[in-house]
Structure 1
Amino acid sequence: MIQELYQKAMRYAGEKHAHQTVPGTKANYLLHISNVTMEVIIAHKMDPCFDLGFAVEMAILHDTIEDTDASWEEIREIFGEGVADGVQALTKNQTIESKSEQLVDSLNRIKQLDKEVGLVKLADRITNLQAPPNEWSNEKITKYQVEATLILHELNESNVYLSARLQKKINEYSKYIKE
């Protein structure tokens, strides 16, 4: 059942991200994870054309390899190879120097997998397009908005509902550019 998948993945993510906060806040990182998962669940309610359990597991675990000591092997052992492959694709390759090239590399890997991986990336960026940290410059805010546009362009066929949500968030994000 989906509830068991959710609880198992959330417990694992909660332990792995235990000391991490949402950048620019004091909020525990599980806030971000639960927001991404909520976007996935609502997208499924709007159009149930994807494997919700698979997508929820990846939504909850999407940052574990990138931000914690979790490994692909550990995630495969606990959650299965499909989830581990999806989480790995959602993880930036830190051996690539340029952040923009890291994003392109990740998007290319995501597009080779099931649509659930792409829709988790859409949900992740939707969630990240909330108010940026106060210390972000206009240049960084604009760059983040441009990256979101690239994500939308590359993954827009993953989910119609989430693509429309991301486009709306991209449009609204301009309000954070300081004059």
Structure 2
Amino acid sequence: METYKLPVSFFEALTFTVKAHNKQYRKSIDKTVPYINHPIKVAKRLLHALQNSNVSEGDMSCFVQAALLHDVVEKTKHNLDEIRDIFGEKTADLVFELTDPSKSIKNAKARRKVRAKRAQKYSLGAANIKVCDKTENLNDILVLNIDWPKNRIINYANEAKDVVLNCKEGFIFPCLLDDFFIIYEKIIREHGED
């Protein structure tokens, strides 16, 4: 069993996130997987990578908070001002970076370009959280019973790859990059290429 040094603020962010995502479920056919599992897995993956990094405790705390909160603004009634008031400026800035402004763009190719271009501007924290997020999303495609056609799965996997590859060089912890590409390649093997 792995043990982690948890930032003090971890439980406050976890409690907020659990309440925010209450009664939400992942995109599985039977809608039985609570959504909260996703931000917890993202935070755990990030925390594992942070244990062997030179990131300060203060930044680590903000990164883990933001990993837990990364979908709160997009998928719940909560807003950035609330995040800022409760968790501070640094955490709110990370959540802002991770909140997808391209949801209103109907054209999938245009949306994909916007997301990849946005990744070029991610801070260290946002880049690593986003890689954890994309890795967990791809892993859920493999593990959960998601009713997506093959081409949608492949398009999503390739968009995720575009985002990851557009993050600033040297920003992503190597273990996270390795994990992402292991799962990405498994998706491509199981579902075929573009």
Deviation at 1:104, TM superposition (A): 4.1
Using the size of structure 2 for normalisation, the TM-score is 0.81
Task: State the Cα RMSD in Å.
Answer: 2.2
Deviation at 1:66, TM superposition (A): 0.5
Q: Is the Cα contact below 8 Å between 1:90 and 1:110 reproduced in 2?
A: no
3-state SS in 1 of match to 2:9: helix
Partner in structure 2 of residue 157 of structure 1: 170
1:142 is the counterpart of 2:154: yes
CA deviation vs aligned residue, 1:82-114 (integer Å, no higher than 9, x gap): 211211221111333334544543454454353
Partner in structure 2 of residue 19 of structure 1: 23
Point out where structure 2 has 5 or more consecutive residues left out of the alignment: none
> Any residues of structure 2 matched to 1:1-179 within 5 Å, and which?
2-24=6-28, 25-49=31-55, 51-93=59-101, 94-132=103-141, 133-155=145-167, 157-159=170-172, 160-177=174-191
Paired residues, number: 178
In structure 2, what is the Cα distance between the partners aligned to 1:78 and 1:108?
30
In structure 2, what is the Cα distance between the partners aligned to 1:90 and 1:107?
12
Distance change (3 Å), C-alpha of 1:79 and 1:101? farther
Point out where structure 1 has 5 or more consecutive residues left out of the alignment: none
Deviation at 1:54, TM superposition (A): 1.4
Distance change (3 Å), C-alpha of 1:131 and 1:30? closer
Using the size of structure 1 for normalisation, the TM-score is 0.88
Deviation at 1:3, TM superposition (A): 4.1
In structure 1, what is the Cα distance between the partners aligned to 2:185 and 2:88?
37
In structure 2, what is the Cα distance between the partners aligned to 1:120 and 1:46?
16
3-state SS in 2 of match to 1:136: coil
Deviation at 1:169, TM superposition (A): 1.3
3-state SS in 1 of match to 2:67: helix
